[in-house]
């Protein structure tokens, strides 16, 4: 099996998700700016994975500070955190990872700087390992919701490639398959970045999970034909009322699921939940460049000079979500109370 | 302006829609098998355009028959009609064009074969010119439904490139723009064949109509944000109850429009209506090859050996359609009666 992200002696090693599925290339990033660049350029993507990448980037940056005194160490550390946390705006996991690293820093500020550095590295590696365990728990919780011999539609890639391993939405599918449920996956190709075609199809095929690739606009037709039993997607940020930001197109799938009375599940670790915001309206939606729409692999698809829109995420209001699957349990409506209760566990 | 399809001395000339928008190449097809091949290979596409192409292909084939007697002329003619009419299954216009050509043949069977040939050519050219006039009428009828300063979403290409000229859905938009209504168009890119990105964006830009290109899966998000005022699409076949087959993804847009209370219009000439079928369930849905999904311009997007589905059309049930815009008038619910009345005009 591949490794999405790994701490190695020389730096942070990642599989380059931009060249999948045709090439399996690993890159090692040796400084925090390079890690932030990898997040921004989508070498790595997926909310939990960029949380781990952010933590590792911060640990890497901190480990290379050569401080005169604590004051200068502190100043440099804050600069690194700010830089890494700003790499992408929508996923809350990056901010969450930054806060965890800052908490380790604060708690140990009286120790020698070399010890603080070691603790930061240990925390980042721990977050990696925790993420895999969280996904496995989340997977087990969600697998119960899927029926035997069912067809599950997913959008984008909320898989091992979007996390430290195992996956969230694909973790639910993996856990169901491991339980002997015969699951067939329909993967939306997920324009413009084609995470479904390039990543979900690749990792499920590698895992021998039965997958069929479709264009995004086919989901409605297949639902109408009775060929979809459930939808499971990941999330980049969930508001305290259950509204969920995820890859652009997720909201469309949610509306289709409602129209066809198909359950629509969001699978995400509790670190994806942002209790600071009341509704999804407060989630910033990243816009990316025109070239993602107008070109594929350098091939021009659209006329020169054409105007485009490229919002990268959308927000699915909680009312469309049948359940939110987390490592601490499955939450159903009313979400505000259910989500609050999760954090008391 | 470009010409989608044209009868010239040497044969049938078409703009090659497969290489747009990067190249504007015209090809001349000199035999009926070549014309049928051009329809099958999507050199030309769009229900009204392939109707005209079918008629011209039949005329071209007939013109080249060197008959011993009427019996052999008749036999050859029927073979040609069958071959051309079978090029693509979903659009009814091809069958409609074949029937019109057969009617000319029948009506004039007592004339010398050379005269029959000339009449068949005249009929095909007439169908071309009629199609443009029909689209202009249809456009005028539909333009009334669009408000000033509104944003209209369209899917696929139901434009000048999909017809002999002017367009159906884009004809409605063109007519509204000509009336001084300030219309902004959102064009779905329309995977997998990218008719929106390649064709709609190209022809609207060429006509100086304000157009923004989006990925198919962005329509829901933009509707939720209040950025879409109306949807206008074409159709490949409309059943006598108003169910409309059109490019895959149209049904998804219709469901989204319903959810957001946005009017959803289907613009098509009455030749697209198939009174022989009671509902959309009787419309055959063409499936095309895997490569349209797995590759773009020869670039592989998905892992090798991946399973795909590639239904090329879907059926939007009449209940989702706010109105059907034809050259004979605008039909609203109940559709069965309204459509029947159209044919009495």
pLDDT digits (tens, 9 = 90+) for A249-264: 999 999 999 999 999 9
My answer on whether A90 and A167 are in the same domain is no
The torsion angles phi and psi of A317, rounded to 5 degrees, stand at: -60, 145
Place of tokens 């029947």: B340
B176 vs A344, higher pLDDT: B176
How many beta carbons lie within 10 A of that of residue A181, not counting itself?
17
Q: What is the pLDDT of residues B154-185, one digit of tens each?
A: 999 999 999 999 999 999 999 999 999 999 99
Q: How much of chain A, in percent, has pLDDT values that exceed 90?
A: 97
Distance from CA of A247 to the nearest CA of B (A): 10
d(CA B224, CA A314): 10
Q: Which residues in chain B are contacts of A296 at CB distance < 8 A?
A: 296-297, 299, 301
How far apart CA A235 and CA B73 sit, in angstroms, is 66
Same domain as A262, residue A120:
no
At A302, is the pLDDT very low, low, confident or very high (cuts 50, 70, 90)? very high
Q: What contacts A42, CB < 8 A, 6 or more positions away?
A: A17, A18, A193
Q: Which whole number is the average pLDDT over A86-102? A: 93
Same domain, B117 and B259: no
Residue B276 and residue B176 share a domain:
yes
pLDDT at B328 over 90: yes
Q: Is the peptide bond before A291 cis (omega within 30 degrees of 0)?
A: no
Least confident of A1-5, A175-179, A331-335, B29-33: A1-5
Q: How many CA atoms lie within 13 A of A231 on its CB side?
A: 30
The token pair that represents A141 in the structure block: 């919780």
How far apart (Å, rounded) are the C-alpha atoms in residues A38 and B67? 71
Task: Inspect the interface and report whether the beta carbons of A215 and B255 lie closer than 8 Å.
Answer: no
- B177 and B207: one domain? yes
Same-domain check for residues A159 and A281: yes
Decide which of B135, B152, B178 is a domain's last residue.
B135
Same structural domain, B106 and B144: no
Host H or E run for residue A125: helix A113-143
* Two tokens, residue B122: 């005249």
CATH number of the domain to which A334 belongs? 3.40.50.10470
**Nearest neighbour of B314 by CB, restricted to A221, A305, A308:** A221
Tokens representing B331 are: 């039909």
Q: Which pairing describes strands A151-154 and A184-188: parallel, antiparallel, or unpaired?
A: parallel
Query: What span, in angstroms and rounded, lies between the C-alpha atoms of A153 and A138?
Result: 18
Q: Distance of alpha carbon B240 from its chain centroid, rounded?
A: 18
Range of the domain at A215: 139-342
Helix (H, G, I), strand (E, B) or coil at B300: strand
Judge whether A105 and A77 are in contact, CB under 8 Å.
Answer: yes
**For residue B311, which residues of chain A lie inside 8 Å, CB to CB?**
218, 221
According to the model, what pLDDT value does residue A209 have?
A: 98
CA B290 – CA B295 distance, rounded (Å): 8
pTM of the prediction? 0.95
* Residue that terminates a domain, selected from B102, B135, B168: B135
Domain boundary, last residue among B103, B135, B167: B135
A89 pLDDT band (50/70/90 cuts)? confident
Beta bridge partners of A232: A265
Q: How far is CA A120 from the centre of its chain?
A: 22
Q: What are the phi and psi torsion angles at A236 (to 5°)?
A: -100, -25
In the structure encoding, which two tokens stand for residue B289, read together?
């090859």
B309 interfacial to chain A (CB closer than 8 Å): yes
Burial of A9 (0-12, 13-18, 19+ CB in 10 A): exposed
Residue B335 structure tokens: 């559709």
Q: Are residues B16 and B122 in the same domain?
A: yes
Alpha-carbon gap, residue B283 to B239, rounded angstroms: 8
Q: Please check whether residue B156 is in contact with residue B192, taking contact to mean a CB–CB distance below 8 angstroms.
A: no
> What's the confidence (pLDDT) of residue B298?
87
Starting at the edge strand found earlier in the chain, the sheet holding B307-308 runs: A329-331, A323-326, A264-267, A230-233, A151-154, A184-188, A211-214, B307-308
* One domain for residues B128 and B157: no
> Which residues numbered 137-196 in A keep a CB inside 8 Å of some CB on B?
155, 186, 188-192, 194
pLDDT of residue B313: 97
Q: Which of B212, B305, B315 sits opposite A309 (nearest CB)?
A: B212
Q: How many other C-beta atoms can be found within 10 angstroms of the C-beta atom of residue A344?
A: 6
Question: What is the SS3 assignment for B274?
Answer: strand
Helices then strands (H, E): number in chain B?
A: 12, 17
Whether the Cβ atoms of residue A17 and residue A39 lie closer than 8 Å to each other: no
- What domain count does chain B have? 2
CB A244 within 8 A of CB A335: no
Mean pLDDT of B100-117: 97
Contacts of A184 (CB under 8 A, 6+ apart): A150, A151, A152, A210, A211, A212
Distance, CA of A137 to CA of B276 (rounded, Å): 56
Residues of A in contact with B219 (CB under 8 A): 252
Q: Which helix (H) or strand (E) holds A161?
A: none
The mean per-residue pLDDT over the stretch A34-54 comes to 96
Percentage of chain A beyond pLDDT 70 is 100
Question: In this predicted model, what pLDDT tens digit does every residue of B66-104 receive, in sequence order?
Answer: 999 999 999 999 999 999 999 998 888 999 999 999 999
Strand partners, A186: A153, A212
Neighbours of B113 (CB within 10 A): 19
Q: Does A259 touch chain B (CB under 8 A)?
A: yes
**What is the rounded average pLDDT of the residues B225-247?**
97
pLDDT value of position B168: 98
d(CA B83, CA B213): 37
**Are B128 and B148 in a shared domain?**
no
Question: What tens digit of pLDDT does each residue of A264-274 get?
Answer: 999 999 999 99
pLDDT per residue as tens digits for the range B268-300 = 999 999 999 999 999 999 999 999 999 988 899
Residues B92 and B217 in one domain: no
Report the CATH number that the domain containing residue B37 is assigned in CATH.
1.20.120.420
What is the pLDDT averaged over residues B16-42? 97
Over residues A203-215, the pLDDT tens digits come to: 999 999 999 999 9
A12, containing H or E segment: strand A11-15
Q: For chain A, what is the radius of gyration of the CA atoms?
A: 20
Q: What are the beta bridge partners of residue B295?
A: B300
Whether B189 sits inside 8 A of A293 (CB atoms) is yes
Residue A298 has a pLDDT of 87
A159 and A209 within one domain: yes
H or E segment at B265? strand B264-267
Q: In this structure, how many other beta carbons lie within 10 angstroms of the beta carbon of residue A41?
A: 12
């Amino acid at each position: 099996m591949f490794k999405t992200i790994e701490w190695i002696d020389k730096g942070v090693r990642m599989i380059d998700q931009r060249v999948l599925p045709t090439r399996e290339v690993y890159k090692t990033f040796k400084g925090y700016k390079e890690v932030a660049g990898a997040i921004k350029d989508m070498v790595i993507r997926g909310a939990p994975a960029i949380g781990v990448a952010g933590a590792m980037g911060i640990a890497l940056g901190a480990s290379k500070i050569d401080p005169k005194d604590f004051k200068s160490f502190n100043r440099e550390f804050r600069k690194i955190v700010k830089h890494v946390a700003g790499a992408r705006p929508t996923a809350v996991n990056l901010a969450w990872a930054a806060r965890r690293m800052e908490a380790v820093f604060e708690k140990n500020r009286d120790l020698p700087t070399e010890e603080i550095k070691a603790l930061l590295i240990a925390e980042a590696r721990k977050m990696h390992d925790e993420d895999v365990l969280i996904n496995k728990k989340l997977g087990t919780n969600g697998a119960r919701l899927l029926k035997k011999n069912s067809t599950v539609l997913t959008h984008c890639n909320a898989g091992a490639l979007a996390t430290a391993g195992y996956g969230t939405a694909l973790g639910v599918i993996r856990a169901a398959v491991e339980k002997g449920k015969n699951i067939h996956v329909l993967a939306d190709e997920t324009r413009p970045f084609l995470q479904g075609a390039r990543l979900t199809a690749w990792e499920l095929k590698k895992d021998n999970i039965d997958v069929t690739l479709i264009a995004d606009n086919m989901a409605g037709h297949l639902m109408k034909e009775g060929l979809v039993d459930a939808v499971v997607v990941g999330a980049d940020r969930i508001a305290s009322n259950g509204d969920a930001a995820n890859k652009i197109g997720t909201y469309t799938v949610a509306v289709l699921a409602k129209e066809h009375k198909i359950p629509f599940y969001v699978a995400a670790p509790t670190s994806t939940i942002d209790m600071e915001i009341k509704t999804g309206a407060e989630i910033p939606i990243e816009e990316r460049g025109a070239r993602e729409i107008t070109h594929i692999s350098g091939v021009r698809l659209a006329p020169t000079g054409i105007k485009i829109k490229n919002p990268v995420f959308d927000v699915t209001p909680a009312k469309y979500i049948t359940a939110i699957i987390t490592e601490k349990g499955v939450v159903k409506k009313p979400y505000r109370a259910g989500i609050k209760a999760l954090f008391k566990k």
